[in-house]
Each structure stands twice: as C-alpha cells, then as structure tokens.
Chain A
C-alpha cells in the first residue's frame, strides 16, 4: 500500500486496485465538496454532486490517458458538467451512481457544517490569490450577488471595467483549477 499511496493521481486512476481509487478520492474529495458548496450554497446538493462526480470518474477512469492535462483538471471537467446539469435540471442527477448501483450516503448535521465550511474556506483561499481589484469584483458579484452598477459605483469606475475584472478573475480561477479557457 505504501507504493500506491505515493503514486501520482494518474497512476491511481490507471490502477486496477480498488483502493487506488479510494486514495485518489482522499486527495480530492474536500476540494470537490468546497467547489460545489461554493457554487450551490447547499451542503446536500454539494454532497449529491460530489458523489455523482466521483462515480462518473470511476466509470470513466479507463478512458483517462495521462498527458499534459493533470488528472485533477480532468476531474474538474467532470465536475463542471455535473454542475451545469444541476443548474439545468434544478437538482443533481444520479446517472453514474445508478450505473454503479450506489446510493449517495446521508448527510448529517456535522457533515453539512463541514461541507459549508469547506465552501467558505476554498472560496477565501482561491480569492486571496487574485489581485485586489479582481478579488473585490469577484467576491462582490459572484459571492455577495451585488450588481455591476453598484460595484462600479463603489469602486469609482465604470461598469465595463468591473465586468472585465469579474471576467478576468473568474478566468484566473478557472485556470488555477484546470478548467478550460
């Protein structure tokens, strides 16, 4: 097991040992929960989406080929699709879970608290890496849901500049988590 645990994400995904997928999960589950918690603001939905994303990754892992794009970016690609499906349907889909004959485990009060805090932490961590003007614009518009005109007035600049800051900030964040341009 020592050899497995020191393997790269790509090696873990390619391994036939079921425990290897468990280790891959260990490395990314908190990031995934935080990502979905931040986007849905709903711990139950974040748990649904995380379970469905890892189930889809398990189903598709034989198709993953190591290359210049890291496995974490591949996982985020799946997550992005699941999130889009969630917004489109108004709820998380469970196609991959059903394919595997799995049910999403229940979320108790402690779990919900943990998931919510992961969302807050990862948002703060990621935003802290942005330049100040972009951080304020992204935090204001995406997290606090403030409109562009209000943000522009507060920053003493034009609405177009704020839009650009938000767009650039989000581009930077996407790039950091490995999502396509």
Chain B
C-alpha cells in the first residue's frame, strides 16, 4: 500500500530542499573557475539560447504563450499578464481589457457589480507585494446616507441618479471641479477627490476589523480611508450609473498610478 499523501509529499519536499541546499553550496566553486571549461560551455549555451530567442522564430515561439491576437481570455483573478485581453465572466456590464505590465492583480472576479484591479508595488520587507493603488469598476446599486444614524445596513439608500453630484456633497469628500471624460466610447464626467475626515460621517465597522483602519462608508465597495486620493468617473450605462475609480493612498501614489490605469482604460471595452 502506498504511503499517505501528506507524509509522502513531505518526504519529497525535504529531499528537494536538501538537493537545492547542496546545489546552492556548490555554485560558488563553479563561479570561481575551478572548472573553467564547464563555465565557458554554460556561457556559450546561454549566448546561443539568447540568439535563438532574438531570431524571428524565437519571437514566434515566445508569443505562443500569449493569447492569439483578437482572442479573449476569461478573467478569473490572480496576476494579470500584459498582452492578454481579459474578458470578465460575471460583471454587468461585461468588460474586456488589457493591462500594460505585470503589476496588476485581481483579488476576486466573482462579484457582478464590482471589479477591482489592484496595483502591486515592489515586494515589501515581508517579501509580499504591497497594494499601492486600485482601478475599480462599480455598478452602484445603493449608497450609504451620510446623515443616517445607526448601523451601515440601516443607512442604505437608493443610488442617486446624479451619483457624482451626490458624491461631491458627501461630508467626507473634498472634490474638484467636474470635467468631461470619455472612456471606451462612453461619455461622462470625472472629479478628483480627497477623502478627508477626523471622524467619518458613517464608519464602516468591517474596515476597522479587517484592515485595522477607520474607513468612511460611502457605498458598498466604496469605503476609503482618510487621506485617500481618487479620480472618480461616472457614466450612464443601460440607464443606471456606472463608476470607474482610480485610487491610491496619497497624491504621490495616485500620480504614479494614473499613467498605468489610463493605459488600461485605453484598452477597455464595455458591453
């Protein structure tokens, strides 16, 4: 009878760790030239490999890992590859887009009314990539009334027809002047906003529990922290508001994020 999976996998991993450790300890000797012929042969192989990749045939082979031109890859979440056109599966309206580089991550693509592309920065000290900003797509069904008292659930109200006008009047939002904007053939208005509060008009208690920070509850899926900067674009799609947001934790972050987010929006198709 075979050994249990859990213990067999452990044995294989520990063996692999031992092999890697042995190899790691051997590598400096090779680099120091104790076996120059082998090192030269390795360098020659690398040069040949580079030449092959640089040839037209090499390019063709590399491109086989990307989606064929014009084709779309269903968006399931995770890290996004540049040069691949992703199509959402459940979002309404349906979206398709491409990212400009490998710095984008989708945590969840299963919510019909909301999609978030997280911009990840260099690995932090922890070794984990940090989220430095977001490009989000929201079909707001409801908002939180900032004048309501009690729980956030009790503050839910119908989404106003003029979402941007309502947002500009929100007590925790400092908004600039609205400007016309056009994205993916949709004409709308955009405003640059800063979230500013000493105490939020309505706090999202979940935010404090999950990320340990105080957030203002503006609408479901829109619960920013104090100081957050964002460009909010509002359109009308199928007779209801549709919102695209580009947000970061401060102005510097937003300035760095905007070119990347705009590059993504240039590829956006809304159906």
Query: Which positions in A face B, CB cutoff 8 Å?
Result: 16, 18-19, 21-22, 25-26, 29-30, 33, 47, 50-51, 54-55, 58, 60, 63-69, 73-74, 77, 80-81, 83-85, 87-88, 100-108, 110-111, 114-115, 158-161, 163-164, 167-168, 170-172, 174-175, 179-181
Name B136-161 residues within 8 Å CB distance of A. 141-142, 153, 156
Q: Is B211 a contact partner of A175 (Cβ separation < 8 A)?
A: yes
Query: Which positions in B face A, CB cutoff 8 Å?
Result: 1-6, 8-10, 12-21, 73-74, 76-79, 106-108, 111, 113-114, 118, 123-129, 131, 141-142, 153, 156, 206, 209-211, 220-221
Q: Is B209 a contact partner of A172 (Cβ separation < 8 A)?
A: yes
Given known A160-B141, A170-B108, A171-B210, contact A67–B124 (CB-CB < 8 A): yes
Q: Is B13 a contact partner of A21 (Cβ separation < 8 A)?
A: yes
**Min distance, Cβ B212 to any Cβ of chain A, angstroms:** 9
**Which of B17, B18, B125, B221 interacts with A67 by CB under 8 Å?**
B125
CA distance A22 to B10 in the complex (A): 6
**Which of B10, B74, B210 interacts with A88 by CB under 8 Å?**
B74
**Min distance, Cβ B192 to any Cβ of chain A, angstroms:** 23
Chain B residues contacting A50 (CB-CB under 8 Å) are 9
Question: Given known contacts A80-B78, A167-B221, what 16 new A-B pairs fall within 8 Å (CB)?
Answer: A30-B6, A54-B9, A54-B13, A55-B16, A64-B127, A65-B123, A67-B126, A67-B127, A69-B126, A85-B78, A88-B76, A100-B16, A100-B19, A105-B3, A180-B118, A180-B128
Q: Is A58 a contact partner of B5 (Cβ separation < 8 A)?
A: no
